[in-house]
Structure formats: C-alpha cells, structure tokens
Structure 1
C-alpha cells in the first residue's frame, strides 16, 4: 500500500512540476511577446491560468499527506496531546468533507461541460475540470486516511515523525 501511495504521490508531483514549468515558460513567452519581435500567441495566458488551477488542486492531496497544508501552530503547541489529536482529526475530516463537496461539483462540470471549449485555445473544458477532479478526489482520500492514521496514533503534525529530516552530522538537536 505504501508503494502505491508513493507512486501516486510521484505522479501528482509530476503533474505539479509540469504545471509550474508551463506557467514559467508561458508567462516568460508572454513577456517576450511585448518586447521581442516574436509571433503573437493568444492562448499562452489562458493555458498558464489552467496550469495554475491544476497546480493548486494537484498539490492539495500531497500537502494533506505531508502536513504541508495551512495549519495553526497555536493548536499544535497545546499542552494536551489528546486535544491536539482530536482537533487535527476534526480538521482533516472537515477538509475531506469540503473536498468531497468540491469533487461532486467538479464531477457535475466534467459531465455537463463536454461541449464547452476555452475561448483562445479551444481546449475542452471537461479536460480542465477532469484534472481538477482527480486532485480533489486525491485530497479527499488522503485527508480521510490521514485522519484515521492520527486517530489511531500516527505522529501528530509538527512532531518528529518518519518524514522528518535527519539531523546533519555533528548537529545537536534541542
């Protein structure tokens, strides 16, 4: 199971890296179009906007798994670990519920927007929504799995767990 999660994480991160590269190159080309006599391409802005959407929703599931999502350290530093654990489980379940609602709405868009295309590129909008849907489903599954793990005693966010970096040689931990 851990191997499957690693493969899916690598695929999601690959999509995210591709989206970042697309945004960088397309915006760079847009800037070059203003000052250098290169052919004017109108769809670069539109595709970079879609890449930003894919980046956002593609990274959400990975961030939930790695505790890289937005968190309140005030809660993580409470002196009662049981209360911290309960709040983190509740927060992850709330993330799962919201991601499920968004995924449902996204599914409606995928199934009903097959005839719509983007204005400049002509890309079917169902493709744009489908990548977003995959990210939302991943976020839902990962949030539920992480909530169950924390409820069963997995390391809390902000604590030293298996994913914590090892100290460098000669470095003293406080």
Structure 2
C-alpha cells in the first residue's frame, strides 16, 4: 500500500485496522446492542422521573426496564471491553516489558486467563439459563433466563475477543482511550 497522505498511512497501521474483519464486525454489533440498552436505560429512568411529577403516567415497569437494561448492557459489553482493553489491566508490566519477548508471553498469558474466566462464566450462564425460566421479574414478568442469555452472549464474545488477542499477541494492541472522559 502506497500513499502520500501520512495520516492515511498511519491509520492503516492502527490496531483497529489490523483486527480481523469478524472481530471488527462483532465489535460493531456489540456497540450497537450496547447503545440500544443504554437508550432503554435512559428512557426508563427519564420515564420514572416524569412519573414523579405527573403521577397519572407513572408506571412501575419503567424502573424495571431501566434495571434490566443496565444488567443486559453490562453483560453485552463485556466482550467488547475485553477486546479493547477496557477491563482492569496491570499496565505496569506493559511499560516495563514493552519490546521484549516476555511481553508477548505476558499478553498470551493474560488472554488465556480471560479465555478460561469467560469460559467458566459462559458455562455458568448456560446453567442459569436452564434454571431461569421459572423465575420472572416482578413487574414485567420477564423470565430471568433472558438476562442470562445476555450474559452467555457477552462472555462468549469475551472468549472470541481473547482468542483473537492470543493470535495477535505480537502486534500492536488497541487501547481504550478514556482520556476524553476524565475531568
């Protein structure tokens, strides 16, 4: 690839562009799904607030929609955050070992731990799905197994993202930039 524009040339080597197409697609789906649940969370809370000032439209289910959306959002975004290093990481080792062979071994080890952890959580989610159809939420009467389906999806995504991180352990890694969120 030859280009005269330095910004375009550097963008081609950013970790996000080096990710395999299925991982990029999965990340987009996770972001959109997370956005939908965040929207439901926001609408549920705003409807609750409105219901306090206009009692005629108050609905108890708004709070439950907000709570269940928050739980689903948390589970669905687990894999995305693992793939973008948005989970808790010991970055001290990253800076100390950068450029050394042990750095790749550390990244592989961390990804293997995530595969095993997400695998255990996905297995437990599967077991909870089997048992969760009898229990329902208080107001909406939604089977709680539905929430565990989102947990299974999120932790399975975490496994996929972690396996991709193992395969890419020797290449630059995507970093979740939260500097814009800091005060």
**Shorter-normalised TM range:** 0.7 to 0.9
Q: Output one character per residue of 1:90-112: Cα deviation in whole Å (capped at 9) or x when no partner.
A: 12211111111111111001112
Where structure 2 has 5 or more consecutive residues not aligned to the other structure, the ranges are 1-18, 178-183
1:144 and 2:150 aligned: no
Q: Distance in 1 between matches of 2:40 and 2:56?
A: 18
- Give the root-mean-square deviation of aligned CA atoms: 2.2
Q: Which residue of 2 aligns with 1:69?
A: 87
TM-score by length of 1: 0.80
Report whether the alignment pairs 1:155 with 2:172. yes
How does the TM-score come out when normalised to structure 2? 0.77
The alpha-carbon deviation at position 38 of structure 1 amounts to: 3.8
Q: Hey, what does 1:53 align to over in structure 2?
A: 71
Gaps of 5+ in 1: 165-174
Aligned length: 158
For the residues of structure 2 that align with 1:48 and 1:37, how far apart are their CA atoms? 19
Corresponding residue SS for 1:78: helix
Residue aligned with 2:142, SS:
coil
CA displacement, residues 17-39 of structure 1 (integer Å, 9 cap, x when unaligned): 01111111111111221123342
The CA deviation string for residues 78-128 of structure 1, in whole angstroms up to 9 with x for no partner, is 045322322222122111111111111110011122222111111121212
In the TM superposition, structure 1's runs of 4+ consecutive aligned residues that sit over 4 Å from their partners are none
